[in-house]
Structure 1
Amino acid sequence: MRYLIGIDKGTSMVKSVVFDEDGRTVGTSEERVEVLSPRPGWHEEDPEDSWQACCRTIRGAISQAGIEARAVKGIGIAAHMGGAWIIDKDGKPVRNAVCWPDERAQPLLTELEGTGRLEEAFAISGNGLMPGITLMILAWLNRHEPEVRAKAKAVLGAKDYLRYRLTGGIATDPSDVSFVPGDIDARVHSPKLARLLGAEGWDDTLPEIVASDSIVGEVTAEAAEHTGLAAGTPVVTGCGDAVANVIGAGGSRPGEAITVLGTSCLNSLIVDEPGREPPGLGFLFAMPGDNYLRILPNTSGTITMDWFLDHFGGIRDGAGKWDFRAMEKRVAETPRGADGVLLLPYVNTAGVLAPFYDPRARGAFFGMSNQTTRDHLMRAVYEALAYSTRDCFEAMPGGQEVLTLTGGGARSAFWAQMFADVCKVPIEISTAEQTGAAGVALMAGVAVGIWPDLATGQAKTSSVSVRYEPDPLAAVDYDRWYDLYRDLRETYRGYSARRGELLGRVGA
């Protein structure tokens, strides 16, 4: 039996997964990433600590799988996009890595409003800008830490840094270039865009672009000692986690819609051309081959549920973990519409990127009374994330016949049925597990000859496990509440702007 390893470096966790050639998970290990916040709104990592955590998960996954290292025939890495992992000529980190949730460049982004540069940047890249994209971080470094540029040899993404430590090679792929961002039509870096955003002077530090599914190096002897892998094991370039999750869930054809119900709720549509609709909003990423991924994200995905439970509590099981089955049973007994309570789920301090752009937008519960219970509030949380997904897909051109739901939240039958009822389309759940790691493992499998092409590998490793059809009566109920939700979010945008003015800052 041949095996593959997919590494999924998330914002909060790094995970390594061993798959067999039928796509079954046979070993997995994960470890929390230490987030550093030397100042409010900063989000950094120590690159060495993150690399060591990755090494431990690789060893742990191989151990759990009970296989020999030489049985691993290929490796792929996916990771969160944006940010900046900067190394010097000796391959050492110049400073802590800056990651995509970082807010330090927000004032620079605010300066660009009204200048026409944001619109020009979107025309080049197809991406709405946020403070944590690579070029905004580099612009901030130009202004505040110019000595970093003098020492920099290469500016890498998170997955590119881990792959550099595995193979010693410096490269990136078209999907990560999309969120630097670059020229989405040509799939290359854009010096013009760098100058527009104040990130000039870094052109020679941006790495060579190699196809996501190409073998770009092999595990070095040094990396083998740290990870337990066999030296010489092939490693593919890999891709950003948004693209990897879609591929791992079986998405490959234009028109397919996938929502990753994770920390951020990524509402994605595969397209065959780099369309910019709706203008100025969301993301547009290059996929392997000639396709693209159009994403309108709700930056406050399951982070909204985490926030609610952390601050307002819920039911725990005997091991002290959240008992979602028990909580959903109670929430299901609450009427649709949560007896008139609605939530605007904008709790992420990055604000809202879609279906409108407003870094000042913040969340709010509406419709509470002395009859409101915690169950009402929790149902409002569930419903709000379904409303926000419908809101994003309605802003994209074309309709969706089916929506594939993946991510941790997709394991909830209660929530999946709610998505079907709110969005008024069938919801399909893929059998694929660990879709981010699976996506890059599939690429590695094709590269080393386990499957002849990606479609064959996807057919072998994923299928539809369950399908939820919309309930027509529930859909009619939710239509009414969704209309109110849309009116509320427009009204509260004005309040968020006034709130930001009173506070005197954006990211709070």
Structure 2
Amino acid sequence: MYYVGVDVGTASVRAALVNQAGTVVDQAEEPLEIWEPRPDHYEQSSADIWKACCAVTKAGDHNRNVIMWMDHRGGNQVDRINKTNHAVLRYVGGVMSVEMQPPKLLWLKENLRQECWDKAGHFFDLPDFLTWKATGSLTRSLCTLVCKWTYTPDGGWDDSFWMKIGLGDLVEENYAKIGNQVVSPGVCVGNRLTSEAASELGLPQGIAVAAALIDAHAGGLGVIGADVTGRHLPCENEPITSRLALICGTSSCHMAISEIPIFVPGVWGPYYSAMVPGYWLNEGGQSATGKLIDHIVRGHNGYEELQRRAGGSGQHVYAYLNQHLDQMGASRPEGILGADLHVWPDFHGNRSPLADVTLKGMIVGLTLSKGLDDLALLYLATLRSIALGTRHIIEAMKTSGHGVSSVFMCGGLSKNPLFVQVHADVTGLPVVLSKEVESVLVGAAILGACASGDFASIQEAMQKMGRVGTIVLPNPAHRRFYDKKYRVYLKLYEHQREYQAIMEDD
């Protein structure tokens, strides 16, 4: 038996054919176009996304109506929403993010012509749009509505919230435009795959289509439940709640689950059954990680030299940078590289645990050098800053009651061994990599396996289809260095706040 997992990422759509053992047998990828009509405005086309889905599921064989997750045009709207101090905000870390749906919807209402707003038939989160295209069903996933729309499993929609923020018209007809049929992820949606969608996707009509997960949550599902028996990890004899799933790509998400609701200031959730059924989820995150690394490296004067050298050696630029740093370290045995170069990584605002979209990036310790060595050190400092941000999120989770003892990492950046090792060293925790790097696709396939009835529960499918690969342990010799780095990291935030206060002082 095989399952098709589809992952719609920021820059591309991928599909994988996955067997019952969780092995990716085949996969395909199609790029997605992104428009940036103005700074911080990011748009895509739903037709383009569906076309790419159809292309990848065949495995080889401008209507810009999507506002992307990283779009920050609703900053003014989210400020007004947060000033309401409405009770629903308690379940998003106390402060709603500009990356969630209510501020985006409010921006649309206030900026579209009234007749355009009135004519809108349905507003979808992307996972629900895809299941609608596949089945014709308006059923929504509990994951998307709980994590991005303020829906609660016990109380559903809160009329007073939508009325208070100026979107009371969405309450009409029992929330028909944003969803009133809600099921848990992994439940078979509607009447299964329609004939039209089957023809476009190149799949058999009538196969089960599962209620979806947000892509990062699918990655968490694909990695967090793996069997670690005999691996000598701290979490081996601990409950699954001791594991943090870190899904890292263009941005990064930090998923921690608990048996009881835990409220973490500045961290989204707690969301009930939003990833693993029966567990509460807290979701931390960094809005720019892979995107930040590319921004730093590609924008440096030494990038052309890096491309030439990497191309000449037949290596990817990041593999070459990692090798170059090893050579630099070997020639300077007196200390750890880059001790006096510090980066604050929030070039696109802070998602967690500060929940402040206005924060900016900072670099301290620059010189006039502009060669390859300088680029390599800045790249290293950027990796460290991202890992320090992860430590910041984990510390906030631990302070509030989570017992994280191991990090289970997946996503594109998990392919970079230096990125992984730095995260282990900075957090002081073992990092467990998935046997299948594409854990988002495995997680999506787990949903399909459950929808088809081949597993009794998502937990059973997680354990049998999620598999452990490499385990990376922290280097104890670097602990004191990174403790000091973390102190500097927190100081950078304090200083940025002080600068803002000085400039705002009348």
Give the TM bin, normalised by the shorter chain: 0.7 to 0.9
Stretch deviating more after TM superposition (448-457 or 256-265)? 448-457
- Deviation readout 1:437-484 (Å, 9 max, x if unpaired): 211211211222333332332232223212222222211111112111
Q: Specify the SS of the correspondent of 2:98.
A: coil
Identity fraction in percent: 23
- Deviation readout 1:12-41 (Å, 9 max, x if unpaired): 211111112221112211111111233433
Following TM superposition, by how much is the alpha carbon of 1:407 offset from its aligned partner in structure 2, in angstroms? 1.3
1:479 alignment partner AA: D
Following TM superposition, by how much is the alpha carbon of 1:498 offset from its aligned partner in structure 2, in angstroms? 6.8
Q: How does 1:72-471 map to 2 (within 5 A)?
A: 96-112=65-81, 115=83, 117-118=84-85, 120-123=87-90, 125-126=92-93, 128-145=95-112, 146-184=114-152, 186=154, 188-203=156-171, 204=175, 205-207=177-179, 208-217=181-190, 218-251=192-225, 253-278=240-265, 280-285=266-271, 286-312=274-300, 313=303, 314-315=306-307, 316-317=310-311, 322-332=316-326, 333-334=328-329, 335-336=335-336, 338-348=338-348, 351-370=349-368, 373-396=374-397, 397=400, 398-471=402-475
Contact persistence 2:221–2:443 (CA under 8 A): yes
Following TM superposition, by how much is the alpha carbon of 1:118 offset from its aligned partner in structure 2, in angstroms? 4.2
* Distance in 1 between residues matched to 2:4 and 2:501, nearest whole Å: 46
Is 1:25 aligned with 2:24? yes
Is 1:481 aligned with 2:455? no
Following TM superposition, by how much is the alpha carbon of 1:497 offset from its aligned partner in structure 2, in angstroms? 6.8
| Root mean square deviation, CA, Å | 2.5
Following TM superposition, by how much is the alpha carbon of 1:327 offset from its aligned partner in structure 2, in angstroms? 1.0
Following TM superposition, by how much is the alpha carbon of 1:338 offset from its aligned partner in structure 2, in angstroms? 0.8
Q: Provide closer, same or farther for how the CA distance between residues 158 and 124 of structure 1 changes in structure 2, counting only shifts above 3 A.
A: same
Q: Specify the SS of the correspondent of 2:35.
A: coil
Contact persistence 2:98–2:357 (CA under 8 A): no
Following TM superposition, by how much is the alpha carbon of 1:181 offset from its aligned partner in structure 2, in angstroms? 2.2
1:475 alignment partner AA: R
Following TM superposition, by how much is the alpha carbon of 1:284 offset from its aligned partner in structure 2, in angstroms? 4.0
2:105 alignment partner AA: L
* Distance in 1 between residues matched to 2:203 and 2:280, nearest whole Å: 33
Stretch deviating more after TM superposition (481-490 or 192-201)? 192-201
Stretch deviating more after TM superposition (188-197 or 400-409)? 188-197
1:269 alignment partner AA: A
Q: Provide closer, same or farther for how the CA distance between residues 214 and 330 of structure 1 changes in structure 2, counting only shifts above 3 A.
A: same
Q: Specify the SS of the correspondent of 1:339.
A: coil
Following TM superposition, by how much is the alpha carbon of 1:97 offset from its aligned partner in structure 2, in angstroms? 2.0
* Distance in 1 between residues matched to 2:165 and 2:279, nearest whole Å: 27
Q: Specify the SS of the correspondent of 1:455.
A: helix
* Distance in 2 between residues matched to 1:153 and 1:215, nearest whole Å: 24
Q: Specify the SS of the correspondent of 1:216.
A: coil
Contact persistence 2:33–2:44 (CA under 8 A): yes
Following TM superposition, by how much is the alpha carbon of 1:125 offset from its aligned partner in structure 2, in angstroms? 4.8
Tell me the residue number matched to 2:229: none
Q: Provide closer, same or farther for how the CA distance between residues 302 and 118 of structure 1 changes in structure 2, counting only shifts above 3 A.
A: farther
* Distance in 2 between residues matched to 1:25 and 1:497, nearest whole Å: 52
* Distance in 1 between residues matched to 2:91 and 2:222, nearest whole Å: 28
* Distance in 2 between residues matched to 1:186 and 1:320, nearest whole Å: 56
Contact persistence 1:15–1:29 (CA under 8 A): yes
1:206 alignment partner AA: I
- Deviation readout 1:117-149 (Å, 9 max, x if unpaired): 246442255563222322112212222223234
Stretch deviating more after TM superposition (171-180 or 489-498)? 489-498
Tell me the residue number matched to 1:505: none
Following TM superposition, by how much is the alpha carbon of 1:95 offset from its aligned partner in structure 2, in angstroms? 6.9
- Deviation readout 1:230-287 (Å, 9 max, x if unpaired): 1111101111122211001133832321111211121221122332222x44344422
Q: Provide closer, same or farther for how the CA distance between residues 377 and 95 of structure 1 changes in structure 2, counting only shifts above 3 A.
A: closer
Q: Specify the SS of the correspondent of 2:311.
A: coil
Q: Provide closer, same or farther for how the CA distance between residues 125 and 200 of structure 1 changes in structure 2, counting only shifts above 3 A.
A: farther
Q: Provide closer, same or farther for how the CA distance between residues 296 and 439 of structure 1 changes in structure 2, counting only shifts above 3 A.
A: same
Following TM superposition, by how much is the alpha carbon of 1:288 offset from its aligned partner in structure 2, in angstroms? 4.1
- Deviation readout 1:363-387 (Å, 9 max, x if unpaired): 1110223468222211101111111
Q: Specify the SS of the correspondent of 2:14.
A: strand
- Deviation readout 1:167-213 (Å, 9 max, x if unpaired): 11111111101233224462733322222332221132122111111
* Distance in 1 between residues matched to 2:124 and 2:426, nearest whole Å: 40
1:240 alignment partner AA: I
1:329 alignment partner AA: Q
* Distance in 2 between residues matched to 1:94 and 1:33, nearest whole Å: 13
- Deviation readout 1:393-423 (Å, 9 max, x if unpaired): 1011234211112111212333322212111
Q: Provide closer, same or farther for how the CA distance between residues 376 and 180 of structure 1 changes in structure 2, counting only shifts above 3 A.
A: closer
More helix by share: 2
Contact persistence 1:271–1:293 (CA under 8 A): yes
Structure 2, unpaired ranges of 5+ = 227-239, 330-334
Contact persistence 2:224–2:245 (CA under 8 A): no
Q: Provide closer, same or farther for how the CA distance between residues 446 and 376 of structure 1 changes in structure 2, counting only shifts above 3 A.
A: same
Contact persistence 1:126–1:275 (CA under 8 A): no
Contact persistence 1:259–1:267 (CA under 8 A): yes
Stretch deviating more after TM superposition (378-387 or 196-205)? 196-205
Contact persistence 1:126–1:184 (CA under 8 A): no
Contact persistence 2:223–2:434 (CA under 8 A): yes
Structure 1, unpaired ranges of 5+ = 64-92, 503-508
Tell me the residue number matched to 1:67: none
Q: How many residues align?
A: 465
2:411 alignment partner AA: G
* Distance in 2 between residues matched to 1:100 and 1:202, nearest whole Å: 21
TM-score by length of 2: 0.85
Q: Specify the SS of the correspondent of 2:182.
A: coil
* Distance in 1 between residues matched to 2:395 and 2:419, nearest whole Å: 20
Following TM superposition, by how much is the alpha carbon of 1:321 offset from its aligned partner in structure 2, in angstroms? 7.0
2:48 alignment partner AA: D
Tell me the residue number matched to 1:11: 10
